[in-house]
């Protein structure tokens, strides 16, 4: 049982049903059965073989991370040409306005980047992230004081006002034994590279929701870097609806035992939208727990979503408990979902590790069943899609956000129904 082994699973496709709770002899579960392969689903083959995620270069130095060509592992699914403005050394634009409506218990400051409270969570891991670090000279720092429980949601609104490439930096810091919900909203249009640092100190319980609801034309790269302390809990929610290109890369790193992270994502891509979510959960210390659940729907020609979930269980991280799931629902022809879970396990002494990914088209049998009860096709499709997202939305646990999401899904569905009905 103590044999250290490295097992890397790249691009598996599995059904979630069997994957968890039915642990193998080493407590490792990676269900690769029932792989589904249709035109809308890649298995991640054909690219360059990836080394351990631990070897990925991270740096605060621009010179260390060159402008990508698009062939790099971390860029191979991305429309790099569209993101190029975010790779320049000097981003001069001041294209976003950040407004914070804070809970009374929460402190908000604008601080210089050299403030010691900035730059403590992780390091930039790609060109857009290192540019964001350099170009943003100030950061919006939101602090939940030690022992405080925020009585209201703190809302940070990032509004894009021009298409000039620009950078922004937000630090969300929950001090020991505090509790808060912080919602980041992205609206308007912008060409933005962004850093969102999330620091959750010992015993704190923080929920962060980042909603990308940009207008058409927006290009957004966002490096979320979370540091989770002893017995701390982070719920990290990413919701992507709007914008032309949105690429969010949440990293979560445990620094002490007993940490827990729940990462939830929901996305809905329309015609020609590119929505990419690349996650990395780094289990470097023992006895931490991570859960990742991302679900997306796609509709329209050229709609493209990418989900990459990297989980690394380092040799020291005994008693780790991790599971990640991605599901995609392809509503129309011409859309493409890439889904790549990667699990690296360097110790056998764990509680459990599993992942699952499934990409499917609309289930005709579900439609038949609902229609056979008199429900018209359009309404039946709505029911199925709402059902697909329903559980995930309820997991968010922030009623204001849940209601908004349900409304956003309704308006997305109105678009797809017009496609189906031919009234578009």
| CB nearer to another protein: pick between 323 and 389 | 389
Any long-range contacts for 47-52 (C-beta under 8 Å, 24+ apart)? Answer: 47/73, 47/76, 48/72, 48/73, 48/76, 50/10, 50/342, 52/6, 52/8, 52/312, 52/344
Phi and psi at residue 366, to the nearest 5°:
-65, -45
Q: Does residue 421 bind another protein (CB under 8 A)?
A: no
The owner of tokens 């690219």 is 47
CB-based contacts of 110, cutoff 8 Å, min separation 6: 138, 139, 140, 141
Q: Does residue 365 bind another protein (CB under 8 A)?
A: yes
Site for another protein in 173-232 (CB under 8 A): none
Q: Does residue 8 bind another protein (CB under 8 A)?
A: no
Q: Does residue 110 bind another protein (CB under 8 A)?
A: no
Question: Per-residue b/e over 116-135, b at no fewer than 16 CB within 10 Å?
Answer: eebbebbbbbbbbbbbbbbb
Stretch that binds another protein, among 259-267, 268-276, 303-311, 358-366 (CB under 8 A): 358-366
Q: Does residue 422 bind another protein (CB under 8 A)?
A: no
Among 284, 383, 419, 420, binds another protein (CB under 8 A): 383
Q: Does residue 391 bind another protein (CB under 8 A)?
A: yes
Residue 385 beta carbon to another protein: minimum distance, rounded to whole angstroms: 9
Stretch that binds another protein, among 191-199, 206-214, 350-358, 364-372 (CB under 8 A): 364-372
Count of residues engaged in binding another protein, rule: CB under 8 A: 24
Among 38, 55, 116, 364, binds another protein (CB under 8 A): 364
Q: Does residue 388 bind another protein (CB under 8 A)?
A: yes
Residue 367 beta carbon to another protein: minimum distance, rounded to whole angstroms: 8
- How many C-beta atoms surround the C-beta of residue 17 within 10 A? 12
Structure tokens at 265: 């994502």
Stretch that binds another protein, among 36-44, 242-250, 298-306, 383-391 (CB under 8 A): 383-391
Question: What are the residues facing 325 on neighbouring strands?
Answer: 293, 356
Give the span between the Cα atoms of 113 and 134, in whole angstroms: 9
| CB nearer to another protein: pick between 101 and 390 | 390
The owner of tokens 């294209």 is 95
Judged by the rule CB under 8 A, the positions of this chain that interact with another protein are 363-366, 368-377, 379-380, 383-384, 386-391
């Amino acid at each position: 049982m103590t044999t250290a082994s490295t097992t890397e699973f790249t691009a598996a496709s599995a059904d979630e049903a069997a994957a968890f709770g039915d642990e193998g002899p080493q407590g490792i579960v990676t269900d690769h059965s029932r792989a589904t392969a249709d035109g809308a689903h890649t298995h991640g083959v054909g690219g360059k073989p990836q080394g351990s995620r631990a070897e990925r270069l991270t740096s605060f130095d621009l010179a260390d991370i060159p402008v990508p060509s698009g062939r790099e592992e971390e860029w191979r699914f991305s429309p790099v040409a569209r993101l190029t403005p975010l790779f320049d050394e000097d981003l001069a634009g001041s294209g976003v306005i950040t407004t914070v409506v804070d809970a009374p218990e929460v402190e908000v400051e604008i601080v210089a980047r050299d403030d010691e409270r900035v730059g403590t969570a992780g390091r930039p891991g790609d060109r857009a992230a290192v540019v964001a670090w350099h170009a943003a000279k100030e950061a919006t720092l939101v602090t939940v004081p030690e022992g405080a429980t925020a009585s209201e949601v703190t809302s940070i609104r990032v509004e894009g006002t021009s298409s000039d490439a620009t950078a922004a930096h937000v630090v969300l810091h929950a001090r020991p034994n505090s509790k808060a919900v912080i919602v980041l909203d992205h609206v308007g249009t912008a060409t933005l590279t962004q850093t969102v640092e999330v620091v959750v100190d010992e015993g704190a319980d923080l929920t962060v929701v980042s909603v990308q609801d940009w207008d058409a034309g927006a290009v957004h790269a966002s490096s979320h870097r979370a540091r989770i302390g002893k017995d701390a809990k982070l719920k990290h929610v990413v919701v992507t609806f709007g914008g032309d290109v949105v690429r969010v890369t949440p990293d979560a790193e445990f620094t002490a035992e007993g940490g827990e992270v729940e990462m939830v994502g929901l996305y809905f891509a329309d015609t020609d939208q590119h929505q990419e979510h690349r996650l990395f959960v780094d289990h470097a210390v023992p006895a931490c727990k991570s859960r990742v659940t991302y679900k997306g729907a796609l509709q329209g020609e050229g709609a493209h979503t990418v989900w990459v979930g990297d989980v690394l269980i380092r040799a020291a991280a005994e008693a780790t408990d991790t599971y990640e799931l991605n599901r995609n629902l392809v509503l129309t022809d011409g859309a493409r979902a890439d889904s790549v879970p990667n699990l690296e396990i360097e110790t056998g002494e764990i509680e459990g590790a599993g992942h699952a990914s499934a990409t499917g088209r609309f289930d005709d049998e579900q439609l038949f069943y609902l229609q056979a009860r008199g429900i018209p096709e359009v309404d039946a499709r709505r029911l199925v899609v709402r059902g697909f997202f329903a559980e995930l939305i309820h997991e968010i646990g922030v009623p204001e956000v849940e209601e908004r999401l349900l409304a956003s899904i309704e308006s997305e569905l109105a678009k797809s129904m017009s496609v189906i009905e031919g009234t578009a």
